[in-house]
Structure 1
Amino acid sequence: MPRAVHRKQRADAPAGFFACEAAGLRWLAAAGGARVVEVLDVGEHHLDLVRLDPVAPTAAAAHAFGAALARTHDAGARAFGAPPDGWSGDAWFGPLDQPLTMTTGEHATWGAFLATERLDPVAATLRDRGLTTPADDAAFARLADALRDGRWDDDEPPARVHGDLWQGNVVWTADGATLVDPAAHGGHRESDLAMLALFGLPHLDAVLDGYRGAHPLRRGWQHRVGLHQLYPVAVHAVLFGSGYVEHTRRLLHAAAER
């Protein structure tokens, strides 16, 4: 029996938009960890995926998802900021109707990657749109300097991260949690976990228990959640304004003052 198809489409999608997403999905699936929606076909203006049938999440499924996500991360990437295999060039982050360009690169450290490919560009966009104050701009600069100086670097190699892992991109099915809509790249494992916490994933404690059972987290990871959430919240401020601007400001100054 043919499988039901879910088609994502946009007639004026940026060139390569759907090919990039397809490459990310296949790269994540190749890790053999968390389930990933299957790609059936990709074209310039569409992406066909196997249609998923959602069910209510359970603590047991969440625990299994946590362990599987750790295995995905452990599959690694060639560098911090590197795009998924099968794609070269910049990528995108955000909703289908208004994605922001997400630059790629190959960095030896996570801090340099975060400063150069994420915080510097989004800080410039916020400033250009009049959404930051001079104090905010100075805080972004201080934080970027601290990141490049290695304040938060560790011995973790680049992880194979989903990159946009909020709860809406985790679909619970009868087979377990399935990942959709990635912004996949080589990053830090804590970034995906921070995204899961950002908008309240169901059974998050069980996910974290399963994850730590497969790959223990570094001491103090809870205190770095805000740093990892800064970029996605700042993108929300660019796209939607409103309370996300103040949320960005709180995360920014808390990180810059540490």
Structure 2
Amino acid sequence: MCAADGGEGRRRDPVKGTMAERLTVLLGRRVRRAVRAQRSHDWDISYAEAEDGTRLFVKSLPRNAGPSAVLTSEARGLEWLGHAFGSPVLEPLAWDDRILVLPWVEERDPSPHAAERLGRRLAGLHLTGADHFGAPWPGFVGPLPADNTPSRTWPVFYAEQRLRPCLRRAVDQGGLTPVDGRTVEKVVDRVAQLAGEPEPPARIHGDLWNGNVLWRGKDAVLVDPAAHGGHREADLAMLTLFGLPHLERVRDAYNEMAPLAAGWRSRVALHQLYPLLVHVCLFGAAYRTTALEAARAALRG
């Protein structure tokens, strides 16, 4: 596997052979079967089983796909997040530039106890911190590129490396009109005034919607990150955006370990604007109204 500090992973020819054969080489142990289950964005999802009965979850680029750093970026982000003490992130078992292998998670119903534990572990992850805003690898949110060039200032990073490129794409693709774009541009231009007191870079998941939280009964684990050094309020705002079971329990437990700064509620919409723009880029005008509502709420503070 490739370490988050830039070490090289096991490099094999990833396209030859069946998926089970490719996984056997990558893992260094026999995988007796692998079944392709679905397509998600630009990659395939498969379920596999090792000879000892261990179940695996596999993301892979299609055989005819060109080079992409998307799975490499995810793997490096998972390992980097996993370096935090008590991290709630599911770490990869193996990966190369076309395949990412994760442990299979047997999901259970969410419980208040698991939610409280998740809140504490998420606080610990954030408090581990980062060297800067951004990350030392190419970023992606889903299949979309995200500029991870290191920055010392969060308002500049968020405005110029998250909001503005995503806004440009949303307008170019027709998900937002030019008039809509000018509304969002007002937020981009005022991020420094809307951001609250400066905080050091946190080690954040970066794509923390409900679907990326897997409940296991006693706890929960996080998957599919867009990991980078960012603002910790972003993860909590995204949990709020798409809903999470026992969200108040998560937030209360989080606040016991890492109290949120004064005025955090007034900044929720500011942090939700980026994932909503991402959804406009991916799914079109269906998210236009929600994105514009978030922009206007962010401006009201």
In structure 1, distance between residues paired with 2:240 and 2:300: 22
The answer for the alignment partner of 2:102 in structure 1 is 49
Larger radius of gyration: 2
Cα deviations across residues 166-192 of structure 1 (Å, max 9, x unaligned)? Answer: 011010114411010000000011000
The answer for the alignment partner of 1:144 in structure 2 is 188
The answer for the alignment partner of 1:181 in structure 2 is 224
* Structure 2 unmatched ranges of 5 or more: 1-51
Closer, same or farther in 2 for the Cα pair 1:242/1:134, shift >3 Å?
Answer: closer
In structure 1, distance between residues paired with 2:196 and 2:117: 29
In structure 1, distance between residues paired with 2:274 and 2:89: 24
* 1:234 matches 2:268: no
Give 1:27 deviation, angstroms: 0.8
Cα deviations across residues 9-38 of structure 1 (Å, max 9, x unaligned)? Answer: 122265222111111111111102332213
In structure 1, distance between residues paired with 2:147 and 2:294: 22
Q: TM-score when scaled to structure 1?
A: 0.90
In structure 2, distance between residues paired with 1:193 and 1:13: 35
1:164 aligned counterpart, secondary structure: coil
- Asked if structure 2 preserves the Cα contact closer than 8 Å seen for 1:91 and 1:103, the reply is yes
In structure 2, distance between residues paired with 1:110 and 1:150: 12
2:294 aligned counterpart, secondary structure: helix
Cα deviations across residues 78-104 of structure 1 (Å, max 9, x unaligned)? Answer: 111x21xxx52x21112xxxx111111
Closer, same or farther in 2 for the Cα pair 1:25/1:13, shift >3 Å?
Answer: farther
1:36 aligned counterpart, secondary structure: coil
The answer for the alignment partner of 1:9 in structure 2 is 60
- Asked if structure 2 preserves the Cα contact closer than 8 Å seen for 1:32 and 1:72, the reply is yes
- Asked if structure 1 preserves the Cα contact closer than 8 Å seen for 2:174 and 2:284, the reply is no
Give 1:150 deviation, angstroms: 4.5
In structure 1, distance between residues paired with 2:281 and 2:246: 30
| Letter paired with 1:239 | L
2:58 aligned counterpart, secondary structure: strand
How do 1:1-258 and structure 2 match up within 5 A? Answer: 1=52, 3-11=54-62, 12=65, 14-80=67-133, 82-83=134-135, 87-88=136-137, 90-94=138-142, 99-147=143-191, 149-258=192-301
* Structure 1 unmatched ranges of 5 or more: none
Cα deviations across residues 110-134 of structure 1 (Å, max 9, x unaligned)? Answer: 1111101111101111111223233
- Asked if structure 1 preserves the Cα contact closer than 8 Å seen for 2:194 and 2:299, the reply is no
Closer, same or farther in 2 for the Cα pair 1:242/1:129, shift >3 Å?
Answer: closer
In structure 2, distance between residues paired with 1:170 and 1:118: 23
Q: Percent of pairs identical after alignment?
A: 42
In structure 1, distance between residues paired with 2:203 and 2:55: 28
Give 1:220 deviation, angstroms: 1.4
CA RMSD of aligned residues (A): 1.7
- Asked if structure 1 preserves the Cα contact closer than 8 Å seen for 2:194 and 2:298, the reply is no
- Asked if structure 1 preserves the Cα contact closer than 8 Å seen for 2:129 and 2:229, the reply is yes
Closer, same or farther in 2 for the Cα pair 1:241/1:212, shift >3 Å?
Answer: same
In structure 2, distance between residues paired with 1:13 and 1:193: 35
In structure 1, distance between residues paired with 2:225 and 2:97: 18
In structure 1, distance between residues paired with 2:120 and 2:248: 12
In structure 2, distance between residues paired with 1:14 and 1:254: 40
In structure 2, distance between residues paired with 1:232 and 1:32: 27
Give 1:257 deviation, angstroms: 4.8
- Asked if structure 1 preserves the Cα contact closer than 8 Å seen for 2:208 and 2:238, the reply is yes
